[in-house]
Amino acid sequence: MEDQIIKQKSRIKTLPKGLAILAILGPGLVWTSDLVGSGEVIITTRNGAILGLVVLWAIVIGVFLKCWIGLSGARYTVCTGEGMIDMFSRIPGPRNWIVWIVMIIQLLSAAIGMGSLASAAGNFLHGLIPLPPEIAGWLMSILALIVLWSGKFNILKFIMTFLVAIMCIGTIYVAAVVSPSVSELFRGLLFEVPEVPEWAISKAGVSQNPWREILPLLGWAAGGFGSQVWYTYWVLGEGYGMANGKQYGQPADLKELKSLNKDDAYKLKGWCRIVNIDASLAMIITAVLSVCFLITGAMILKPLELAPEDSELASTLSKIFSTRWGQAGGYLFILSGTAALSGTLMVQMAGWPRLLADTVRICIPKFGKLFKWEIQFRAFLVFFFLTNMLIVFTFGIRPVFLVKTAAILDGLILTPVQAICVFAGLFIIMPKLFTKEVYNIIRPHWIYALFLILAFFVFGYFCIFQVPYI
């Protein structure tokens, strides 16, 4: 028994101290790389160009509440060593009922979401080299497949991170230069729903219903349902807390959790603080970038009466840089945007197969027994590669339509369910997995319950009272 306890203690890594903490922060940055893609570059800038700064409230609500969902899910992973989908399998009620719902809806959301990114990335690549948008979208999908299949992402990741950093820094600079007044920003927090301007309706074919623009902004702010699930995967990959030594596709060891002692609990509590820092950093970066893209859309594109739209998507968005730095600046933005969108595509093609493999493993146990996790992952990877190719071929010149559709499906429909399930995971399921002494030490603060319930009601309102009428 003593040997078993010693082994369990050694599984939870010792917490780093001081500046060494910075060396282990990483899941939040991967999370952010997913969020910087289609949401900020396309949807947020488009909202600024059409509706202006008055929709700032949608960014604040979306980023703040969804980051609480992701943070809470990651906290559960740190304490138990299993991802969010396994948490859902423990929700009271009919066996795996939530996981079945997730599997069905996410299969469609994933196909459209990744197809939209392939289409948008292809549109940007088309702005760099004289290739048809459909062929360019296929090339982006093929590149993502090769990289994820091989697992050799380091060199490409460095180049893409450098280019995305240029775009982000440049956008922040431009937003600072054209910065609106404090009163304009304050007005954006008053929950105003503006009318769609006449020029956008007549010139860009934008709907008169402003919710058709605002709801996708809410959906992609801080990512969708999948993004919050993936954050638990990135935490697993880094080995925080009980995730140390665990592999993808493994549920928690319930006997091990019950045998944890007081010292283990304090170690887990320390790792929860690391997740708080990591997720907070991701939330701040995402919020700042989102606001800056909204500002550039409102202050640069709106006066020019330009709304980013389908075939002209890349060239319109590039004016964010070209108005300051000429043709070279516009080219640099398209290059950086191509890197951002293709990077987001890779993150999603790495995350969604994991998510779907988990749901199938739980709902159809024989699937998990017959095939190793790597085979499951690659099977879904190939499936989504094929759906990418089909969607790009069918909707190759409609990236905005696809991105907005994906934002509603992945960013809004399941978010209220996700919020209340994560609440149940922290406050109903976790107390049963640990001894009372251990749970009392790692028990989340009541503030987690407050914001998860608030997220449930806020996103539930939009799903019930706004989504059906767009």
Model confidence at 49: pLDDT above 90: yes
CB 124 within 8 A of CB 312: no
Mean pLDDT of 164-191: 91
State the angle between helix axes of 446-465 and 211-220 in degrees (0 to 180), rounded to the nearest 10: 150
DSSP 53: G
Sign of CA dihedral 417, 225, 67, 193: negative
The fraction of the chain above a pLDDT of 90, given in percent, is 67
Mean pLDDT of 168-182: 92
Q: What is the pLDDT of residues 363-401, one digit of tens each?
A: 999 887 888 888 888 999 999 999 999 999 888 778 899
Model confidence at 39: pLDDT above 70: no
Model confidence at 4: pLDDT above 90: no
Mean pLDDT of 63-89: 96
Q: What is the pLDDT of residues 6-18, one digit of tens each?
A: 444 447 888 777 6
Measured in whole angstroms, the distance separating CA 416 from the mean position of its chain's CA atoms is 16
Model confidence at 228: pLDDT above 90: yes
Model confidence at 153: pLDDT above 80: no
**Full domain range(s) for residue 32:** 2-469
CATH number at residue 362: 1.20.1740.10
**Which of 158-172, 276-290, 302-316, 445-459 is predicted most confidently?**
445-459
Among 20-34, 64-78, 160-174, 320-334, where is mean pLDDT lowest? 20-34
**Which of 114-128, 313-327, 440-454 is predicted most confidently?**
440-454
Q: What is the pLDDT of residues 334-361, one digit of tens each?
A: 998 888 888 888 888 988 999 999 999 9
Supply the pLDDT for residue 369.
82
How many domains does the chain fold into? 1
Model confidence at 217: pLDDT above 60: yes
With b for 16 or more beta-carbon neighbours within 10 A and e for fewer, the 107-138 pattern comes to: bebbbbbbbbbbbbbbbbbbbeeeeebbbbbb
> Who has greater pLDDT, 449 or 470?
449
Supply the pLDDT for residue 162.
72
CB 301 within 8 A of CB 319: yes
